[in-house]
Amino acid sequence: MSIVICNYEVISPLGYGAQENWRNLFIKDYSPNYKLNISEFQIADFLWETVACEFRDVVPERVAVVLSNSKYNFSAFGDETRFVNTFLPHNLSSYVAAKIGNGCIPYSVSGACATGIMSVMKGVEILNRGIADVVLAGSIEASIVPLMQASFQQLGVLSKRRQTLPFDRQREGFVIGEGGAMFVLKKACEAVNYPKIAGYSYLNDAYDLVAFNPNTQSIERAIKLATSDISNIGYVNAHGTATKINDALELKALTTVYGQTDKRPYVSSTKGHTGHLLGATGSVELALTLLSLQHQQVIPHKELSNPMPEIVPFIENSPTFIESALTLNYGFGGHVAALAISR
């Protein structure tokens, strides 16, 4: 049975709320606010304000929350009085479940930078198994702290120019950002006029702790499993971290999948606008992709002055109508996830 997204909200370096995020995507000289300077729980409170109306008349025992974080809630780091209740990743889900009421089921998943859409996938599975009638799914992360900055700097994936330039020849890494998104999921028979989860896939590359298998077969397979007809996809929000290897392999996979077809989707990565939100990147990018579907407009590249040759066939034409869109996320440890949405 189809699952629909009844409501959602997003906060990112582009702004607070879906409409502010959408507006700022198209302001060429907009300067992202990468560090939000609020805690993970304050982000949750902001997102909850928009979606709370969906839970006024529910039975808490028939509701599940899958709100995840790929690391820790660093706002509580070093605070002994709050450590147990707020520092651990699952604390976010429990915090929001308590707002819904006694009996609401909290879940948390972790899949590195694929955590966000993995949380939505988990929500779909919970509904299809009949465990709950409504699911609140998403992810939140605020990881701009010295420990994480130093770790990613050591890996050599951060941009020295503090620019995230996906699929550009001058790309040199990403800027870390903060944010999150929440989605209210229900079965389609209960809500028919909302965007649908058209398909999804979650695989593991099982090649290396931090590197992709150069043959890109896991990415290709994930794309094909997530949609029954790749030609229906009008827009792809790619993972596009602006690292040398990731972007090259992702484009290799997309070229292999669409190389034999006449109809190619428009491809961009919204990390050029938001930076890389790590565990929150999947949920924020899904929200931005939903906005693209709603407004029937692809999301342009923030900056692409020197495009990689492989991206050119995917940006030559913008679709006049977007029936379905695809968002892709990968994570250290070999996580490969793809999720398709449709009107």
Give the pLDDT confidence of 224-241 residue by residue, as tens digits: 999 989 999 999 999 999
CB 205 within 8 A of CB 218: yes
Task: Fill in the DSSP letter of residue 240.
Answer: -
Q: Which of 104, 273, 276, 301 is catalytic?
A: 276
**What's the Cα-to-Cα distance from 250 to each of 94, 214, 224, 242, 245, rounded to whole Å?**
35, 10, 14, 11, 9
* Higher pLDDT, residue 83 or 20: 20
Give me the pLDDT at residue 333, please.
Answer: 87
Q: Give per-residue pLDDT as tens, 28-58.
A: 899 999 999 999 999 999 999 999 999 999 9
Give me the pLDDT at residue 190, please.
Answer: 57
Percent of the chain beyond pLDDT 70? 98
Q: Using CA atoms, how far apart are residues 228 and 343, in angstroms rounded to an integer?
A: 15
Residue type, 101: G
Q: Which of 239, 273, 301, 335 is catalytic?
A: 239
Q: Using CA atoms, how far apart are residues 260 and 281, in angstroms rounded to an integer?
A: 30
Q: Is 335 a catalytic residue?
A: no
DSSP letter for each residue of 12-62 = ETTEESHHHHHHHHT-TT--------S-HHHHHHHHHHHHGGGGTT--GGG
Q: Is 90 a catalytic residue?
A: no
Sign of the dihedral through C-alpha 112, 134, 192, 125: positive
Query: Residue 192: pLDDT band by 50, 70, 90 thresholds?
Result: low
Q: Is 113 a catalytic residue?
A: yes
Nearest in space to 193 (alpha carbons), one of 30, 2, 9: 2
Residue listed under structure tokens 């955590």: 115
CB 234 within 8 A of CB 342: no
Sign of the dihedral through C-alpha 82, 84, 87, 90: negative
Mean pLDDT of 254-278: 93
Domains of the chain, earliest start first: 3-190 (3.40.47.10), 196-342 (3.40.47.10)
Q: Is 44 exposed, middle or buried (0-12, 13-18, 19+ CB in 10 A)?
A: buried
Structure tokens at 239: 């993972």
Task: Fill in the DSSP letter of residue 330.
Answer: E
Q: Using CA atoms, how far apart are residues 223 and 328, in angstroms rounded to an integer?
A: 8
Q: Using CA atoms, how far apart are residues 330 and 333, in angstroms rounded to an integer?
A: 9
Q: Which of 113, 273, 301, 335 is catalytic?
A: 113
Q: How far is CA 153 from the centre of its chain?
A: 22
Whole-number average pLDDT of the chain:
93
Lowest mean pLDDT among 200-214, 267-281, 296-310, 319-333: 200-214
pTM above 0.85, yes or no: yes
Give me the pLDDT at residue 191, please.
Answer: 52
Q: Residue 201: beta bridge partners?
A: 338
Structure tokens at 41: 């729980």
* Higher pLDDT, residue 72 or 42: 42
Q: What is the dihedral of CA 259, 285, 290, 133, to 10 degrees?
A: 110
